[in-house]
A and B are shown apart, each in its own frame.
Chain A
Amino acid sequence: MMQGNIWISLNPLGSAQSMTLVLRFQIRPSYGRATFAPGTSSEQPSSNPQFRGLRVILADDDALNRTVTKKLLEKLGCEVTAVSSGFECLSALSSAENSVRLVVLDIQLPEMHGFEVATRIRKVRSRSWPLLK
């Protein structure tokens, strides 16, 4: 994991494929789809140690996609704040201070386009981060 960095993943149109996109980046090749292995105990055995406690802000204006993606990230062990607009995303980030590690953005957010949100975040946070497509 990249300590002390923010990763921004653009979630194009909230399709199921883009969810996998976020995960593939984080997962070492040996995991592959294993992170989707059924976890029946309340211990969440499927959670990846890299993700445990990872604070994530998820921005997607589509309620269905937001619900599914949030659950997926929580299942991996992330702590998710779900918002539905670029503005909410920015204010959630500012109140979370430096603890947020990952921002998942839907590229088509109402009022503020995903790229603009990313640009604004970059202005606020001086540490470098890669942009994932």
Chain B
Amino acid sequence: MDVLSQLQRQLADFLASLYREGFVDDQFTQLQKLQDESSPDFVMEVVSLFFEDCEKLVNNMAKVLEQQVVDFKQVDSHVHQLKGSSSSIGAARIRNVCIAFKTFCEAQNREGCLRCLQQVNHEHAQLKANLQSLFTLERQIVAAGGSVPAMQ
């Protein structure tokens, strides 16, 4: 197998594992389908936007949660935003944490919220690392003369 085929095989396998393990879902596929010659870095740009968003929201949530009296409505609104944007890019695990997170906000459970926040951080880091690997593989494929197919 030549280098290009090997890389493409690696990419396909890696992508399949990301779906299988629930890191990304169908919305991520839709995002990839939106990428084209006029916007070859579309997915990466959107994903970067998401991670920036996520960090900002997590910092805000942490600040609110460390107050003497926690404004759970505020936390909830941040979680809601994170849930929305994670859904938009297909970040399934993060979205799922947000669902649980919202329940703790409604129950005004600070400990539960803090646990979820930790989980969000964890998932954020994992997804970031995974997508970095994905983009690196894609770049290698393009450099080897190939093109990146959309996931079927």
Contact = CB atoms under 8 A, between A and B. Distances in A.
Contacts of A40: 36, 149-150
Contacts of A14: 84, 88
Given A38-B150, A65-B84, A71 B37 contact: no
Interface string A65-104: 1011001100100000000000000000000000000000
Interface stretch (B9-17, B44-52, B135-143): B44-52
Interface of B: 27, 30-31, 33-34, 36-39, 42, 45-46, 49-50, 53, 80-81, 83-85, 87-89, 149-150
Contacts of A63: 49, 53
Interface string A9-38: 000011111000000000000000000101
Contacts of A17: 87
A131 interface: no
B88 A42 contact: no
Contacts of A13: 80, 84
A71 B85 contact: no
Interface of A: 13-17, 36, 38-40, 42, 44, 62-65, 67-68, 71-72, 75
Contact of A71 (B34, B87, B149): B34
Interface SS of chain B: helix
Contact of A68 (B37, B38, B53, B88): B88
9 contacts: A15-B84, A16-B27, A62-B81, A63-B53, A64-B49, A64-B50, A65-B88, A67-B45, A67-B46
A36 B53 contact: no
Given A13-B80, A16-B27, A68 B87 contact: no
Contacts of B83: 15
Most buried by B among A13, A38, A62, A75: A38
B49 A67 contact: yes
Given A62-B85, A65-B85, 18 more contacts: A13-B80, A13-B84, A16-B27, A36-B30, A36-B33, A38-B33, A42-B36, A42-B37, A64-B50, A64-B85, A65-B84, A65-B88, A67-B45, A68-B31, A68-B88, A71-B34, A71-B39, A72-B34
Nearest to B35: A71
A16 B87 contact: yes
